[in-house]
Amino acid sequence: MKIAVIGGGRNDEHLVSLASAAGIAHAARQLGWETVALTIDEDGTWRDRQGAELSPSRAVGQLTQCDVVFPALHGVHGEDGAVAGLLELCGVPFVGSPVRAGAIGMDKWLTKLVATAVGIRTAESIVVPPGTSSPVVRLPLPVVVKPATGGSSNGVSVVGQRAELSTAIADARRAGATVLVEEYVRGREVDVAVFRDATGQLRLGSTLEIGVEAGGVFGRTAKYDGTAPFTLPADLSASEHHAIRESASAMYDAMECSGVARFDFFVTDTGLVLNEVNTSPGMTEQSQVPRMFAAVGMAYPQLIAELVAAARVPEPIGITA
């Protein structure tokens, strides 16, 4: 089988994406597949494995010669549905969510609306649109300020003084024009990953608890330097495990996700709170999602193989009278 892996991307998660792409390509080679490695530079230039520049038409030509494409793009201009739209128009099977699910997952405010519609609680928040720097915030302090789009905790901060809000909003806006100000949720951060396999069955990894100091944020450095303390499975009651699995599955279906998606929750004294959804999570072998599936007996190459197999299942053809 011939598989294309796309890494990089035109955003501030470029380096993280390169690491994910390298891991996926290595697993593909372990599986005996021919790999076509393509990279998108931070300025949007496409390049082949040797680093030679490719015109968009030549890049599309390489993609359409493959059996399946595995985009490892995180953030805007990729995870947000952009690459899914390109590949759908090209008619190439690909691993990952379609345009709508990627766009919803990338927008934390839209994610909240979907979660609310299916009965899943989220943190109370207000939207700060572009051009607004001093919103009226009636939420009790502290609050969390974050870009409505973006990932890797870029631009996220905890604000304890109202005088600090404008600065925090400006910092968040460097990672996304629209900003959210949220209530600070006191609870344990527990994540779980879900994908639908080639038979149509939902497969869930182990729950994973992230050790974050009280009042802190699971920041970019801890996410990628290997120092974050993870507990798999999370130390939860049977009912809490069930609630997380049911909520994640409900969101996966409501958003009409494909491929693997990670669902991040807070476990509080009053129940679950959905934090966010990641439809293109980090995919190095040491990333959270591969660890979750390794903990339930699915090794990294097998996970990649399962995702590719599911992507190659033909979409049902609608029949009209």
pLDDT by residue (tens digit) across 212-226?
655 555 544 555 455
**Is CATH 3.30.70.1290 what the domain over 2-94 is classified as, yes or no?**
no
What residues form DSSP beta bridges with 209? Answer: 190, 231
Domains 2-94 and 103-121+186-311 share a fold: no
- State residue 155's pLDDT score: 85
Task: Evaluate whether 279 touches 95 at the Cβ level (below 8 Å).
Answer: no
Domain assignments of the chain as residue spans, ordered by start: 2-94, 103-121+186-311, 125-183
The pLDDT of residue 185 is above 50: yes
pLDDT by residue (tens digit) across 116-139?
999 999 999 999 999 887 788 889
Architecture of domain 103-121+186-311: 2-Layer Sandwich (3.30)
Residues 6+ apart with CB under 8 A from 86: 60
The tally of CA atoms less than 13 A away on the side-chain side of residue 76 is: 16
CA–CA gap between residue 207 and residue 191 (Å, rounded): 6
Helices and strands (H, E) in the chain, number of each type: 10, 15
Percentage of the chain exceeding pLDDT 70 = 92
- State residue 320's pLDDT score: 41
CA–CA gap between residue 102 and residue 13 (Å, rounded): 16
CA–CA gap between residue 186 and residue 269 (Å, rounded): 9
Of 98, 36, 105, 93, the closest CA to residue 281 belongs to 105
CA–CA gap between residue 292 and residue 192 (Å, rounded): 7
CATH number of 125-183: 3.30.1490.20
- 193 versus 153: the higher-pLDDT residue is 193
